[in-house]
Amino acid sequence: MGEVIAVTSGKDGVGKTVIASNLGVVLAQRKHSVVLMDLNVGSRNLDISLGLENRVVYDLVDVVTGVCRIKQAMIRDRRFRDLYLISAPQSRNKAPITEEQLVALCQELKKIFDFIIIDAPAGAGSALKQAVSPADSVVVVTVPEYSAIRDTESINALLEGVGITRRSVVINKIMPELHQTGLVPGPEEIAEILRTPVSGLIPYDQNIHISTNVGIPIATAQESYIAKNLRGIGERIISKIDDLAPDANVQY
């Protein structure tokens, strides 16, 4: 049976899609079968990050409403043996998906894939509650800003409330020089505030920004330090997160 991992955040634009797409790539590189599922109804962008935007015909809502079969909505990323995308609808006018439909769909996908990675919406609202309903574990992405950290605390509280104990934090867009000035919170301080295992530290790097715009996930540059870092993050996320100490000394 496969495992469902949801990637979320308190704030928009902190890097959920970058982390979800690259997690999919590093797991596919390790010969796992993976489906990436975008749950950002009306604001999907996993398809763009993967360079698959021209191949989306059917979406998640088409699957759960019976307009198409699951396989028709699964777009294979031909760069990998076993990496697929299921898009969210770009229009908000389609019928809303229910929690029961999402859980049932993930049960089906778990029979086919080793990992189902959900690119979930941001913010501690009902959309997130629904998006994490099938999740076995959750990755919460944050950035080194006190406002983002506070929003991450709200997400942690929501996840705790719905009984998701397997969760970790990825701190993205770190600027090491700025961190050294002591004027912005550093990874140790963030880990201490959040008291959640840290599965990854990712620096701000313009190559990541470029990769999302050209539709080539940065982890495909296998020899780069970022790809190496992402492989380590992938390993920590799929290992038993409970084993990570909250102040895990992750490298980047």
Ligand X SMILES: Nc1ncnc2c1ncn2[C@@H]1O[C@H](COP(=O)(O)OP(=O)(O)OP(=O)(O)O)[C@@H](O)[C@H]1O
Angle at 88 between CA 103 and CA 119, to 5 degrees: 70
Give the pair of three-digit tokens for residue 163.
């009984």
Between 123 and 193, name the residue whose CB sits nearer to ligand X.
123
Least CB distance from residue 34 to ligand X, whole Å?
17
Spatial separation of the C-alpha atoms in residues 147 and 150, rounded to whole Å: 5
Give the pair of three-digit tokens for residue 199.
């599965």
- Window 1-20: residues binding ligand X (CB under 6 A): 9, 12-18
- Window 17-56: residues binding Mg ion (CB under 5 A): 17
CA distances in angstroms from 199 to 29, 48, 229, 244, listed in the order given: 19, 25, 11, 8
Q: Quick check: 144 and 15 in contact, CB under 8 A?
A: no
Q: In this structure, what are the phi and psi dihedrals at residue 22, rounded to the nearest 5 degrees?
A: -75, -30
By rule CB under 6 A, what string of x and - marks binding of each residue 201-240 to ligand X? -x-xx--xx--x----------------------------
Give the pair of three-digit tokens for residue 75.
């777009």
Residue 212 contact among Mg ion, ligand X, none, beta carbon within 5 to 8 Å by kind: ligand X
Give the pair of three-digit tokens for residue 25.
């790539």
Helices (H), the chain: 16-29, 46-49, 60-64, 70-73, 99-112, 126-131, 146-161, 176-181, 187-194, 206-214, 225-238
Give yes or no for residue 173 binding ligand X (CB under 6 A): yes
Least CB distance from residue 122 to Mg ion, whole Å?
8
By rule CB under 5 A, what string of x and - marks binding of each residue 4-23 to Mg ion? ------------xx------
End-to-end, the C-alpha distance of the chain in Å comes to 32
By rule CB under 6 A, what string of x and - marks binding of each residue 26-65 to ligand X? --------------x----x--------------------
Least CB distance from residue 201 to ligand X, whole Å?
10
Least CB distance from residue 38 to Mg ion, whole Å?
8
Least CB distance from residue 132 to Mg ion, whole Å?
15
Least CB distance from residue 211 to Mg ion, whole Å?
14
Q: Is 106 exposed, middle or buried (0-12, 13-18, 19+ CB in 10 A)?
A: buried
For ligand X (CB under 6 A), the number of binding residues is 19
Between 32 and 173, name the residue whose CB sits nearer to ligand X.
173
Which stretches of the chain bind Mg ion, using CB under 5 A? Answer: 16-17
Which stretches of the chain bind ligand X, using CB under 6 A? Answer: 9, 12-18, 40, 45, 122, 172-173, 202, 204-205, 208-209, 212
